[in-house]
Structure 1
Amino acid sequence: HKQKEKLVKIREHYMDIYKTRLQDDISNTVNFINYKKSSADERVKAIIEEKVRNAHSLAAHIYNTDKHRLPEAILRSRIIETLRTVKWDDGNGYYFILDQNGVMVLHADTPELEGQDMTGTKDVDGQFMIRDILSLARDKGSGFYRYLWSKPGSKGTGHVKITYVKNFETFNWIICAGFYVKDMEKKIKDEILDQISQSAADKDRYTFILGKDGFCLSHPSARYLKKNVIQTTPPDIGKLYKELIDLSIKNGMNYVEYPVEKPSTGLIAPKLTYMVFLRDFEWIIGTGVYLDDIEQIIETEKESFNNELRRNILIISWFSFLLIILSLTLGFVITNRLYQGMNLFTDFFKKAATSDIKINETRLIFNEFKLLGRLANQMVEDRVSKEEALRRAMLETVNIQNMLKNITDSMPSALIAIDQNMKIIQWNKKIEKTTGITARVAEGRLLTDLLPFTPKETEVIEKTFRDGIPYTQARVLETKEKEKRYEDITVYPLVTHRVKGAVIRIDDTTEKVRIEEMMIQSEKMMSVGGLAAGMAHEINNPLSGIIGNADVLRNRVLSDLSANMTAAEEIGVDFAQIKKYAEKRGLPTILENIRQAANRAAVIVSDMLSFSRMSSSSFSSFNIAELLDKTIELASTGYDLKKKFDFKTIKLTRLYDADMPPVMCDGRKLQQVFLNILSNGAQAMGETEALRVPEFTLKISCDRARAIIHIEDNGPGIPESIRKRIFEPFFTTKGVGVGTGLGLSVSYFIITNHHKGTLEVESKPGKGTAFIIRIPVNPA
């Protein structure tokens, strides 16, 4: 009977131990969730502060680079259009800029707000948010502001948003960027679920999370994950889950024993589960232990205890036997004290297997017993110390792993860590977003199986392994839309006492490359423009002499002037014979050829002067559609005799905005640009095989303060190598004598310098080419 009571107490003791462990596990999980939740605001602030500081640096760079050679209006426009295209967080993150009077300069999400006075804008709480932002920027220069606002793709305006603002003193702007707290909370929930799903100790020891409706958010078994356990399990099991969930919601926490399938064996076994209801997230978090494992541990402990007890009893018995022999001479008192010491050790060894109890050394009489007691107590202290150190080390390891994961996931670059066998050991959020492959799928796989690295790029990785120093490799990718993307791949060596490998960082440098190309093109234009001006002036003087002397020679040899006849009579020659001789020798044709050649050279000189310095002209208000249509009529008179290609055979598709306002511009020069583009497009379509009807698509629209003219042909297109040089002076793909190579260069300067606009070209080989002109409707 006593043995049964002892077993019951041992079982109750272990049940208490495991209940405490379950409580500790759930408490750690809840603490982890609360910590992640509490970091939402700080993470939002860190993200938007970094974004605004990046935008501020980019705006300052654009201004400082071109402030001595470009007007302030163009610099403002460049900064605005550059920041307009920068978005993040699937388009939910964007920039907006205010001036010091509260007028919206840029709003990437709602462009129609630009140019409006926003000082009267209120949030849901009735706060004049724009006024508050102006005060914050004026008083502190930068800072955070929290308010309720609309969210792209979501209904209503009651979305909590934190915005970071910073003064851009150059233009008296306030650069701002915001982030929705709800988006960060969703990310945090996903991170929590991902972390918990990866923390299962083994198949039978795991943490699960249910929604209050029974939907399973986290579970190691695919039978339950992302399913409603109430609806998808047998009715009796579903009913049990419903009761457990309701009980946990009602009480906040709950212990429950119930039979369930054990993952490691596939058999039904009793399970003790501890469940807690997390009200903020409306989650039921649970973890448990299978009772048959506890029974097995109890049996093992009982057997170990009995063996240890028998061994200790045997040792003590022999020791006691010797003591008894000695006690015969020492008397009854010593015998009694020995008996007390033996009882003390017996009690200790009985309890030591299941608790951290120590021997009371003050109750030991003999030095030998005291020594054994100290050693026994030291053994208990060492075991407790090692268990505590192990627990702290495991907790610290988890914290460090989480921190490193958060750091790499927060970086804007794609980061991949690999071992020396090229197998992936880490895969951050950026590369997940880029490839659509999660870290769980990627880790452990070969790098070359998941990413399209060229042999040259793979060689850079191997070189980093071999040399132990970082290397960088630039590469160019082509998207499905035939658009080129530029990337920098940097490989850093990773060497520790346990792991040898590398960290690969992939940065998208497309925007940087395009900006550099635009800067190089502008510098080329300015340099060649100065050269063109000098050449034009140097050529003009002798050219004028050629044309003038050719006309004088024609008059003195071929014209029936009285002075000519008088001079002929003075030398005894008939002037009619001189004219006959000149005509016989083809002199009129030669003089006409000289005149035509000189006139052609004069046209080239005129183009060169137009390229180097646009002559002053008056701006007037014009209807862009009428200018373009008049230019088409002019182009229709052109006829290519070599190719037999008539401009009138080209199909014209006009897409003009009906409410297009008049535009202040130089109509004559703008028609010159239209004619250059239309003539080049017609000639290009004339040189292609007649597989489709040649067609121009003409679009005219207005984007707030700018007119947009879009001229697109369906010709053969322009290769990328030629497209980059298309606006360079004297660059042409036509044959000798067909063109000067100045047409598009002059057009570029007419639009960019004369009209303070932009001229861009887009082309897809085999499909056609489009020129996009953007000029201010009312230039300052």
Structure 2
Amino acid sequence: MKLRNIIDPRSLSGTGFLSILVTILIITPTIGSFWIFTEYHKQKENLVKIREHYMDIYKTRLQDDISNTVNFINYKKSSADERVKAIIEEKVRNAHSLAAHIYNTDKHRLPEAILRSRIIETLRTVKWDDGNGYYFILDQNGVMVLHADTPELEGQDMTGTKDVDGQFMIRDILSLARDKGSGFYRYLWSKPGSKGTGHVKITYVKNFETFNWIICAGFYVKDMEKKIKDEILDQISQSAADKDRYTFILGKDGFCLSHPSARYLKKNVIQTTPPDIGKLYKELIDLSIKNGMNYVEYPVEKPSTGLIAPKLTYMVFLRDFEWIIGTGVYLDDIEQIIETEKESFNNELRRNILIISWFSFLLIILSLTLGFVITNRLYQGMNLFTDFFKKAATSDIKINETRLIFNEFKLLGRLANQMVEDRVSKEEALRRAMLETVNIQNMLKNITDSMPSALIAIDQNMKIIQWNKKIEKTTGITARVAEGRLLTDLLPFTPKETEVIEKTFRDGIPYTQARVLETKEKEKRYEDITVYPLVTHRVKGAVIRIDDTTEKVRIEEMMIQSEKMMSVGGLAAGMAHEINNPLSGIIGNADVLRNRVLSDLSANMTAAEEIGVDFAQIKKYAEKRGLPTILENIRQAANRAAVIVSDMLSFSRMSSSSFSSFNIAELLDKTIELASTGYDLKKKFDFKTIKLTRLYDADMPPVMCDGRKLQQVFLNILSNGAQAMGETEALRVPEFTLKISCDRARAIIHIEDNGPGIPESIRKRIFEPFFTTKGVGVGTGLGLSVSYFIITNHHKGTLEVESKPGKGTAFIIRIPVNPA
């Protein structure tokens, strides 16, 4: 560009150039001289005060840092109660909803007692917080209906229970539930695994009006405070600005809870550092505890340089947590700043003097340069717009308005940037919509993964489109592997189950196949398979829900059996009392008849002489006619009837015995000795020829039980097994396998034979009273029924039978070690 254009007042460049030139010629010498003189004296004063100034700044900064940390800790601590309340309220409301769901689902088809039991057993299994959180249920009279952690309390009146302060806590809970329906109750209670009894516990209670229950759940505030402490330490450990500026936390004993350096973290700084440093830390901690806060200067190694440098540390004692919180700054930075300020001032002063001295000479050069600069800025402005329009179509680039000098260019720049912002906002709206779609998909995935049922979504071609966590756990196949593959390639569905899926596709309504029998890990499991149609405007398919109903089926079978036993028990008791009287008459009169006809009693002979008959001839006649055999048959038949009556009475006399502590192994061995000499067993099979394999747990504890009745159960099972093996001609070596073990609070007795086994049709009825497969006169059909009643009603246990034809039969007895 030519020089005449630069000094032309009619051009933009000329106007700017002349204005700058005049201003510089007038103002610069005056201002420069005054500035140099003033700055020289001011700098001398500043250098004296600068250290104090920076010390004040650093102290204020340290106070602010510690204050922010303490405020953060207090905020987290204040949220403990609310977090506890939120957790237990959610748990109780979930339990209330679950109980209501169970009741509403089955209230028209199941008795109320079964519904109560089902709700109790369902909530018993629900625990959280590593097993420390659980439910308990009270009725309106204060009787414990459910206590998932201490089942021994169930059935007890808890209204006399007091907390640490002597308050009748159960009564207060009853009043709270009665007056408000629900609410929180706070009390002091002992905490398992912790010293002392003054641990704050908060319990949330809510009425379950259907059964007049109060559903409750509690949580220790101390547990939440521990979690909050861990969160605080984790947050502080991640907040270090750099190596030289950080916050640390010590305990009263010098144990380092938070520090960015592994050299100190989780170590006692008093004990693990050199003696002089450890002594210094001890003094700092003591001063902080005594005064509540403390400033201290001391030399220490600087992390960024590895050199010893003076450090200013501010420490505060937090009494609630018994923490010493500290942060500091290295003071060598101040000295560096002072030296930098001195050097900067001297350089600036020399530079300004040089500038002023040469200013006149440089004015012309600067003016010419400025003219070229202004002109160049015009060209730069045009270039900015050119580059912008080239890139704006494919990127979010904006014009840097600060680089535009002239207002016209700035206006154009704002309009251009507005155009870009409009386009970016629309693209951002589209991105948010896509992100929301992804979030909804993830939320639906989380919902299905949190369900206890196995869920599989398939399309109309039977390809898997969703596979939740439960089915992953059941099959061991991850969703990544399963999704996109054919359902029939991964799960062994039977043709009948496949037909249910196809029928759902065809009819568009749900279908359920209940009690599908599966064998998993040598255990029979029952499943309900429900197929729901899935029809949208884009996808047609189905959702398959698989629920494990094994426990439900077992409970139903047990309840059916118990109802049968109760019905027969009542009938048996009445019949037994009615039969006993005439039966006694039959046995007594048969004995009298034998004595008067067959015994050589003086009264018999005298009576025969009085009628002129020889008594010996009467005896001979009776023997000739088989009268002794007839009388013996009468006696045996009556005795057999008496045994049946005795078994029938067992149903109504189960509570007449008392419990004692017994060694189960000894009871079983004594029963085997009795079976080895028993006449009934030898009549069909010699028990001594049976091989016995004993697998007894050496650590088996004594069991509270009725030993005599338990031996009766063992003898019935052993007798039936021995007779079954004796009737199997192809069996070379008959064998009983006897196992005794303990599963938590239950003793398990496993008696297994290698006989012919029991067909499924007979196995289902094996515990029914008077049901027998033996011939007439061989069995009464009450042995296993009485055994079942002894175990389930008298001992509150379970008796199960497992059998496969040709593979033998196993009876599994489970009874509590210490019944409540």
- When the two structures are superposed, what TM-score results if normalisation uses the length of structure 2? 0.54
Report the Cα offset of residue 521 of structure 1: 1.4
Other structure's SS at 1:386 match: helix
Q: Is the 8 A contact 2:684 2:723 kept in 1?
A: no
Equivalent residue runs for 1:161-560 within 5 Å:
390-560=430-600
CA distance in 2, matches of 1:444, 1:186: 45
CA distance in 1, matches of 2:62, 2:498: 48
CA distance in 2, matches of 1:599, 1:757: 32
> Could you give the per-residue CA deviations for residues 458-481 of structure 1, whole angstroms, max 9, x where no partner exists?
222222222222221114232243
Report the Cα offset of residue 527 of structure 1: 1.0
Report the Cα offset of residue 654 of structure 1: 4.8
Deviates more, 1:618-627 or 1:533-542: 618-627
CA separation of 1:201/1:699 partners in 2, compared to 1, >3 Å: closer, same or farther? same
> Could you give the per-residue CA deviations for residues 613-660 of structure 1, whole angstroms, max 9, x where no partner exists?
337345556555544433322211036788873222334455566776
Q: Is the 8 A contact 2:740 2:749 kept in 1?
A: yes
**Structure-2 residue corresponding to 1:570:** 610
> Could you give the per-residue CA deviations for residues 372-427 of structure 1, whole angstroms, max 9, x where no partner exists?
99999999999889756644543332233222222222222222222333333332
Q: Is the 8 A contact 2:671 2:711 kept in 1?
A: yes
CA separation of 1:509/1:742 partners in 2, compared to 1, >3 Å: closer, same or farther? same
Q: Is the 8 A contact 1:98 1:175 kept in 2?
A: yes
**2:780 is equivalent to residue 740 of structure 1:** yes
**Structure-2 residue corresponding to 1:662:** 702
Deviates more, 1:753-762 or 1:183-192: 183-192
Report the Cα offset of residue 525 of structure 1: 0.9
Deviates more, 1:103-112 or 1:390-399: 103-112
Deviates more, 1:711-720 or 1:28-37: 28-37
Q: Is the 8 A contact 2:570 2:651 kept in 1?
A: no
**2:680 is equivalent to residue 633 of structure 1:** no
> Could you give the per-residue CA deviations for residues 333-386 of structure 1, whole angstroms, max 9, x where no partner exists?
999999999999999998985689999999999999999999999999998897
Report the Cα offset of residue 557 of structure 1: 2.8
CA separation of 1:366/1:16 partners in 2, compared to 1, >3 Å: closer, same or farther? farther
CA distance in 2, matches of 1:315, 1:218: 54
CA separation of 1:776/1:72 partners in 2, compared to 1, >3 Å: closer, same or farther? farther
**2:180 is equivalent to residue 109 of structure 1:** no
CA separation of 1:362/1:635 partners in 2, compared to 1, >3 Å: closer, same or farther? closer
**Structure-2 residue corresponding to 1:618:** 658
Deviates more, 1:193-202 or 1:394-403: 193-202
CA distance in 2, matches of 1:616, 1:137: 40
Report the Cα offset of residue 739 of structure 1: 1.1
Larger RCO: 1 or 2 (CA < 8 Å, sep 6+): 2
CA separation of 1:376/1:193 partners in 2, compared to 1, >3 Å: closer, same or farther? farther
CA distance in 2, matches of 1:360, 1:114: 77
CA distance in 2, matches of 1:441, 1:284: 52
CA distance in 2, matches of 1:439, 1:248: 56
Deviates more, 1:597-606 or 1:609-618: 609-618
CA distance in 1, matches of 2:331, 2:507: 56
CA distance in 2, matches of 1:654, 1:167: 52
CA separation of 1:294/1:521 partners in 2, compared to 1, >3 Å: closer, same or farther? farther
CA distance in 1, matches of 2:495, 2:338: 60
CA distance in 2, matches of 1:46, 1:95: 16
CA distance in 1, matches of 2:573, 2:47: 106
Deviates more, 1:58-67 or 1:486-495: 58-67
> Could you give the per-residue CA deviations for residues 635-689 of structure 1, whole angstroms, max 9, x where no partner exists?
1103678887322233445556677666655443333223222222322333446
Deviates more, 1:360-369 or 1:498-507: 360-369
Report the Cα offset of residue 106 of structure 1: 10
Other structure's SS at 1:727 match: coil
Report the Cα offset of residue 292 of structure 1: 51
CA distance in 1, matches of 2:353, 2:411: 18
> Could you give the per-residue CA deviations for residues 592-618 of structure 1, whole angstroms, max 9, x where no partner exists?
112111111111111111123337345
**Structure-1 residue corresponding to 2:175:** 135
CA distance in 2, matches of 1:68, 1:469: 24
Report the Cα offset of residue 490 of structure 1: 1.7
Report the Cα offset of residue 441 of structure 1: 3.1
> Could you give the per-residue CA deviations for residues 714-755 of structure 1, whole angstroms, max 9, x where no partner exists?
445445544443322112233332211111211222333334
> Could you give the per-residue CA deviations for residues 187-208 of structure 1, whole angstroms, max 9, x where no partner exists?
9999999999999999999999
Deviates more, 1:274-283 or 1:31-40: 274-283
CA distance in 1, matches of 2:73, 2:646: 74
CA separation of 1:410/1:27 partners in 2, compared to 1, >3 Å: closer, same or farther? farther
CA distance in 1, matches of 2:697, 2:499: 55
CA separation of 1:304/1:743 partners in 2, compared to 1, >3 Å: closer, same or farther? farther
CA separation of 1:145/1:245 partners in 2, compared to 1, >3 Å: closer, same or farther? same
Q: Is the 8 A contact 2:137 2:147 kept in 1?
A: yes
CA separation of 1:303/1:466 partners in 2, compared to 1, >3 Å: closer, same or farther? farther
Q: Is the 8 A contact 2:516 2:529 kept in 1?
A: no
CA distance in 2, matches of 1:322, 1:500: 84
CA separation of 1:205/1:625 partners in 2, compared to 1, >3 Å: closer, same or farther? closer
Deviates more, 1:266-275 or 1:461-470: 266-275
CA distance in 2, matches of 1:561, 1:497: 105
Deviates more, 1:623-632 or 1:64-73: 64-73
Q: Is the 8 A contact 2:736 2:752 kept in 1?
A: yes
Q: Is the 8 A contact 1:639 1:645 kept in 2?
A: no
Q: Is the 8 A contact 1:309 1:350 kept in 2?
A: no
CA separation of 1:194/1:662 partners in 2, compared to 1, >3 Å: closer, same or farther? closer
CA separation of 1:702/1:347 partners in 2, compared to 1, >3 Å: closer, same or farther? closer
Report the Cα offset of residue 497 of structure 1: 2.3
**Structure-1 residue corresponding to 2:727:** 687
CA distance in 2, matches of 1:329, 1:61: 87
Report the Cα offset of residue 705 of structure 1: 6.7
CA separation of 1:617/1:11 partners in 2, compared to 1, >3 Å: closer, same or farther? closer
CA distance in 1, matches of 2:749, 2:327: 66
Deviates more, 1:137-146 or 1:632-641: 137-146
CA distance in 1, matches of 2:236, 2:636: 85
CA separation of 1:571/1:264 partners in 2, compared to 1, >3 Å: closer, same or farther? farther
Q: Is the 8 A contact 1:122 1:129 kept in 2?
A: yes
Percent identity (aligned): 100
CA distance in 2, matches of 1:691, 1:484: 27
> Could you give the per-residue CA deviations for residues 198-222 of structure 1, whole angstroms, max 9, x where no partner exists?
9999999999999999999999999
- When the two structures are superposed, what TM-score results if normalisation uses the length of structure 1? 0.56
Deviates more, 1:738-747 or 1:607-616: 607-616
Deviates more, 1:765-774 or 1:65-74: 65-74
CA separation of 1:523/1:245 partners in 2, compared to 1, >3 Å: closer, same or farther? same
Other structure's SS at 2:765 match: coil
CA distance in 2, matches of 1:395, 1:253: 49
Report the Cα offset of residue 556 of structure 1: 3.4
**2:634 is equivalent to residue 594 of structure 1:** yes
CA distance in 1, matches of 2:449, 2:586: 73
CA separation of 1:746/1:252 partners in 2, compared to 1, >3 Å: closer, same or farther? same
Report the Cα offset of residue 491 of structure 1: 1.9
Other structure's SS at 1:640 match: helix
Q: Is the 8 A contact 2:526 2:549 kept in 1?
A: yes
Q: Is the 8 A contact 1:324 1:335 kept in 2?
A: no
Report the Cα offset of residue 501 of structure 1: 2.4
CA distance in 1, matches of 2:527, 2:590: 60
CA distance in 2, matches of 1:730, 1:771: 19
> Could you give the per-residue CA deviations for residues 280-306 of structure 1, whole angstroms, max 9, x where no partner exists?
999999999999999999999999999
Q: Is the 8 A contact 1:639 1:646 kept in 2?
A: no
CA separation of 1:620/1:275 partners in 2, compared to 1, >3 Å: closer, same or farther? closer
Q: Is the 8 A contact 1:301 1:353 kept in 2?
A: no
**Structure-1 residue corresponding to 2:46:** 6
Report the Cα offset of residue 563 of structure 1: 4.7
Could you tell me which runs of 5 or more consecutive residues in structure 1 were left unpaired when the two chains were aligned.
none
Other structure's SS at 2:202 match: strand
CA separation of 1:405/1:623 partners in 2, compared to 1, >3 Å: closer, same or farther? closer
Length, aligned pairs only: 780
> Could you give the per-residue CA deviations for residues 538-571 of structure 1, whole angstroms, max 9, x where no partner exists?
4334433432333333233323345544554555
CA separation of 1:354/1:454 partners in 2, compared to 1, >3 Å: closer, same or farther? closer
